[in-house]
Amino acid sequence: MKIESFELKRIQLPLVTPFRTSFGVQTVRDVLLVFARTTDGVTGYGECVALADPVYSEEYVDGAEQVIARYLAPAVLAGGGVTAADVARLTSGFVGNRMAKAAVEMAVLDAELRSAGMSLASYLGGVRSTVEVGVSVGITATVAELVDVVRGHVEEGYRRVKLKIQPGFDLEPVAAVREAFGPDLLLQVDANTAYRADGLALLTRLDAFDLLLVEQPFDHDDIELHARLAERMRTPVCLDESLTSAKTTAAAIRAGACEIANIKPGRVGGYLEARRVHDVAQALDVPVWCGGMLETGVGRAANLALASLPGFTLPGDISGSARYYREDITPPFVARDGRMAVPTGPGIGVEVDEERVAGLTTRRQEIAR
Ligand code: OSB
Ligand code: MG
């Protein structure tokens, strides 16, 4: 397969409600879409998960767009005939920028699979036609408001809820949600690196609330501190920000710092590396689940395919389109009883509403061979 050009489009999607985490509040999603056009007239879609600002990782959407336009897309175009498996090698001379690389690889992979008539789920080795999904709930102004928000999601049928926590918004809100919804609600928390070593004792007290896991309480590079917590805590310690590849995941697991792994394809450089993360975790007996980055239907479709692999035994952060967007850029994804169907069509298995994308586009550029 030959790629003739990459088109980069930036779209602005307003969020239905502001999303607050320990690293800040988001009110709109500024998304970079990558369209890979083949010489045979096939278009593959990629979504870059970089946020507007470098607050979750070093990457941010303006930078991702520039690195793709200036380095990654030209390197892939110069490769001649390519498959998705070639993209990592062709771009390996450029350090880091995993979210940017992932978006390019995803667009190439989607084009490749659409040409071959194969779904992403079968390509990756998926074994399930539906997957369990949950919702990630942001930090609220009051605990009462949090309980109301969670109630709304429980009424929508979600059975697993992830609460964002930070120092000053942890034990009390978690206790209130557990108390309001009882022992059957699958509950977990995510600190997005907001704690320091002096938070060990407080975090250990979360053991009282029967949580599925506690996600990334400490700095991304502090594997040792996560291992110390894992030793002291009954609740499994899960890593997100720390896991940048299959290699760093294996090392974190062997260090005792990662009892469950959150897999985000963008964070590890693409769906192919995400599958390798899944494979090492499975070999080391560590359960995995699919994380989210407020994706549009494009990223959501691909994440459902990934989550259909056998090691994904915990519900993913793959909520319905309506959790974030009044109108998606694909047909809306809907969760029923906390489950979602894995797309079966070629590639990511969904069509993009190009007219709607055109209406939301703030800038576009094309990189041709
Ligand atoms: O840490 O998992 C995270 C969103 C943006 C950046 C980081 C994270 C998140 C979420 C939302 O928790 C997951 C989703 O619903 O897409
Ligand atoms: Mg997280």
Nearest to 215 by CA among 136, 313, 308: 136
pLDDT digits (tens, 9 = 90+) for 33-52: 999 999 999 999 999 999 99
- Binned at pLDDT 50, 70 and 90, residue 80 comes out as confident
Residue 151 shares a structural domain with residue 13: no
pLDDT of the residue at 142 = 97
Residue 33 has which token pair? Answer: 């879409």
Torsion of CA 109, 115, 119, 123, to 10 degrees: -60
- The residue contributing the CA closest to ligand 1 atom 13 is 292
Cβ distance 200 to 228 under 8 Å?
yes
User: Is position 348 within any domain?
Assistant: no
Residue 103 shares a structural domain with residue 128: no
> Which of 21, 53, 133 has the most ligand 1 atoms within 8 A of CB, as the residue to mutate?
21
Residue 194 shares a structural domain with residue 313: yes
Nearest to 292 by CA among 235, 345, 351, 240: 240
Mean pLDDT (the chain, rounded): 97
User: Is position 308 within any domain?
Assistant: yes
pLDDT digits (tens, 9 = 90+) for 101-125: 999 999 999 999 999 999 999 999 9
Residue 257 shares a structural domain with residue 335: yes
For residue 271, the domain's CATH number is 3.20.20.120
Does an H or E element contain 306, and which?
helix 297-306
Establish whether residue 22 lines the binding site of ligand 1, counting it when its CB lies within 6 angstroms of any ligand atom. no
Average pLDDT over residues 188-202: 98
Q: In angstroms, rounded to a whole number, what is the distance separating the alpha carbons of residues 199 and 228?
A: 12
pTM: 0.98
User: Is position 347 within any domain?
Assistant: no
Query: CA–CA distance from 192 to each of 138, 164, 258 (Å)?
Result: 11, 8, 15
Which DSSP symbol is given to 27? E
Q: How many structural domains compose the chain?
A: 2
User: Is position 298 within any domain?
Assistant: yes
Residue 131 shares a structural domain with residue 48: no
Cβ distance 357 to 9 under 8 Å?
yes
Of 2, 162, 164, 247, the catalytic one is 164
Write the CB contacts of 279 (distance below 8 Å, at least 6 apart in sequence): 246, 311
Average pLDDT over residues 28-36: 98
Q: In angstroms, rounded to a whole number, what is the distance separating the alpha carbons of residues 115 and 80?
A: 17
| Residue 32, pLDDT above cutoff 90 | yes
- The residue contributing the CA closest to ligand 1 atom 6 is 293
Residue 102 shares a structural domain with residue 163: no
Q: In angstroms, rounded to a whole number, what is the distance separating the alpha carbons of residues 125 and 310?
A: 8
162 is catalytic: no
Rounded distance from Cα 7 to ligand 1 centre (Å): 26
Establish whether residue 47 lines the binding site of ligand 1, counting it when its CB lies within 6 angstroms of any ligand atom. no
User: Is position 211 within any domain?
Assistant: yes
For residue 21, the domain's CATH number is 3.30.390.10
Rounded distance from Cα 139 to ligand 1 centre (Å): 12
pLDDT of the residue at 203 = 98
Residue 68 shares a structural domain with residue 109: yes
Cβ distance 158 to 319 under 8 Å?
yes
Residue reference for tokens 């034990």: 171
pLDDT digits (tens, 9 = 90+) for 129-171: 999 999 999 999 999 999 999 999 999 999 999 999 999 999 9
Cβ distance 303 to 265 under 8 Å?
yes
| Residue 280, pLDDT above cutoff 90 | yes
pLDDT of the residue at 211 = 98
Cβ distance 212 to 187 under 8 Å?
yes
Which atom of ligand 1 approaches the CA of 190 most closely? Answer: 1
Residue 165 shares a structural domain with residue 301: yes
Residue 53 shares a structural domain with residue 146: no
pLDDT digits (tens, 9 = 90+) for 232-276: 999 999 999 999 999 999 999 999 999 999 999 999 999 999 999
| Residue 126, pLDDT above cutoff 90 | yes
**Domain range for 102:** 3-116+353-368
> Which of 317, 321, 333, 340 has the most ligand 1 atoms within 8 A of CB, as the residue to mutate?
317
- The residue contributing the CA closest to ligand 1 atom 7 is 293
User: Is position 189 within any domain?
Assistant: yes
Establish whether residue 57 lines the binding site of ligand 1, counting it when its CB lies within 6 angstroms of any ligand atom. no
264 is catalytic: yes
Q: Kindly give the interhelix angle for 271-283 and 98-116, rounded to the nearest 10 degrees.
A: 100
> Which of 293, 304, 306, 319 has the most ligand 1 atoms within 8 A of CB, as the residue to mutate?
293
User: Is position 95 within any domain?
Assistant: yes
Residue 181 shares a structural domain with residue 54: no
Cβ distance 106 to 99 under 8 Å?
no
Residue 304 shares a structural domain with residue 211: yes
Residue 108 shares a structural domain with residue 160: no
Establish whether residue 291 lines the binding site of ligand 1, counting it when its CB lies within 6 angstroms of any ligand atom. yes
